[in-house]
Structure 1
Amino acid sequence: MTKLTIFAAAAAFSLAAGAAFAQTSQEAAIKKAIEPRLGNGVKIDSVTKTPYGGLYEVRVGGDILYTDAKAEYLFVGRIIDTKTMQDQTKARLDEINKIKFADLPFDSALKMVKGNGKRVIAVFEDPNCGYCKRFRQTLNEMDNVTVYTFMYNILSEDSSIKSRNIWCSTDRVKAWDDWMLKGKEAAAAPANCTAPNDKIFELGQRLKITGTPTIFFTDGTRIPGAVDMKTLESKLASIKQ
């Protein structure tokens, strides 16, 4: 390698390092400027320059905001690629909110198997959630699916009591369906029965689950809300089980 080649390589490395440092400094400056304005002790997890429109992505938990290089404005909404009509924001949210499905504590979930059970999902539901009850109707009409239900008590004071009563029932899955589909409450749990309520609540908080139902798929992605049969079937068909 000639001296000229070595000099050129060194110069190129120096420029690249300088650009990376400048970008890091810019992102740090944006975080410093915006974080105090968000209030209520909200913390920014990361600031990243995007490839579109000179915008910077500001990630707060499982949410994304956008700002300009001077951090003068905040943009709340979706970035759509007009050539492909792809929702870039949704794709990014799916990426940052992915989980490792196999790491879920399935021994703390209710397990329902229908048909061959080859298609697998996990659902976080509150026993007092009306949307969860509607989604349970959808699941009741499906076949060839395994559903792990994590009772995630976030809506009412008695959600934990109902979940414990169901967990301590002889047939947990039947007790859950009786309540969610028919409104039939489970019998009071024995005093010596312990339910994984606290464990599931802590798990839901770590996974940044803010509403029920929240559905997780084996590819690690999630869908919040009571999706209809068509949407659920389409999502399952897109995943290699």
Structure 2
Amino acid sequence: MQFQANIKRWWPALAIFLPMLACAQAQVAASSPEMVVRQALLAASPGLKIDSITPAPLPGFHQVIARGRMVYVRDDGRYMFDGRLVALAAPARDLSQPAWSAFRRQQLATIPAADRIIFAPVKPRYRVTVFTDVTCGFCRELHRHIAEINQLGIEVDYVAWPREGLLTTAGRPTPVATEMDDVWCATDRKATYEAALMRAEAPPAAHCASPVQRQYAVGTRIGVSGTPTIIAEDGRELGGYLAPQALLQALRNSGGGGR
């Protein structure tokens, strides 16, 4: 029952064995497996925004990314399971990760350098994208070590992910989203970000075509659920706060897009 509760939490209309899929499957029997999977999911959860459907490493299934989650749906649209797909042949491998990494790379590529807050050494060996929030304690601790991180050859690209979300229940911008809009619209974005993050100085009100909403949407699509979230250049999620040497080791272990 816990599994069913989890499914309902993130795809509210989608139940454990997708009982509505039989009807959808009959309607699309002559279609491609991808279309069968897509229409079956939409029949079970109308309005579901599906970001990716690709053949799974598991024969007879497709892997689906939607709302920051990955699931596996049988090609006939009758069954779905949620979780990692692991190959047990030694060494054991998480087969879900290559698709996630590719999807993260594709999504992060939509955020131009001009919309990021970048702290970089002269000749970076690695680059990470960090989803950040100016009210986040662990983001503050990470940035406290930014000089050391840069000295290790790591470029840090900050993008915005307000932890409170973008809108209150009343439909107004959340305070942190407003503050981050002001940071990202500031003339000196780096200095304003550091003042807001490290000294809790409210940024002056500023107005521009703020990229915060778009960055938040990208983070949500790739499964960001808190800050900081660190993504390597190869698309691997390295975790949350990492001390400088631990971050360097994680990048080396992952491949990390070293140059």
Common topology (TM > 0.5) = yes
Evaluate the alpha carbon distance shift between residue 25 and residue 163 of structure 1 in structure 2; reply closer, same or farther with a 3 A threshold. closer
Asked whether the 8 Å contact 1:121–1:148 carries over to 2, the reply is: yes
CA deviation digits over 1:120-144, x for unaligned, max 9?
Answer: 3332312123443343345454223
Partner residue, 1:56: 62
State the AA in 2 paired with 1:145.
Answer: I
Residues 3-14 of structure 1 mapped to structure 2, 5 A cutoff = none
Partner residue, 1:223: 237
Partner residue, 2:251: 236
Gap regions ≥5 residues in structure 1:
1-21
CA drift at 1:95: 1.8
Gap regions ≥5 residues in structure 2:
1-28, 166-173
State the AA in 2 paired with 1:215.
Answer: I
Is 1:78 aligned to 2:84, yes or no? yes
CA drift at 1:85: 0.7
In 1: Cα distance, 2:246 partner to 2:208 partner: 32
Q: Percent identity?
A: 22
**Count of paired positions:** 213
Partner residue, 1:202: 214
CA drift at 1:203: 3.8
- TM-score if structure 1 supplies the norm length? 0.68
- Paired residue secondary structure (2:211): helix
Structure exhibiting the larger radius of gyration computed from Cα positions: 1
Partner residue, 1:42: 48
Greater mean deviation of Cα atoms: 154-163 or 97-106? 97-106
Is 1:29 aligned to 2:36, yes or no? yes
Evaluate the alpha carbon distance shift between residue 89 and residue 101 of structure 1 in structure 2; reply closer, same or farther with a 3 A threshold. closer
- Paired residue secondary structure (1:66): strand
Asked whether the 8 Å contact 1:125–1:149 carries over to 2, the reply is: yes
- Paired residue secondary structure (2:128): strand
Give the CA RMSD over aligned residues.
3.5
State the AA in 2 paired with 1:240.
Answer: G
Asked whether the 8 Å contact 1:123–1:214 carries over to 2, the reply is: yes
In 2: Cα distance, 1:232 partner to 1:131 partner: 14
In 2: Cα distance, 1:24 partner to 1:154 partner: 41
In 2: Cα distance, 1:101 partner to 1:67 partner: 26
In 2: Cα distance, 1:187 partner to 1:46 partner: 39
- TM-score if structure 2 supplies the norm length? 0.64
Partner residue, 1:213: 228
CA drift at 1:240: 2.6
In 2: Cα distance, 1:215 partner to 1:35 partner: 32
CA drift at 1:28: 2.3
Residues 57-136 of structure 1 mapped to structure 2, 5 A cutoff = 57-60=63-66, 62-83=68-89, 84-99=91-106, 104-114=111-121, 117-136=124-143
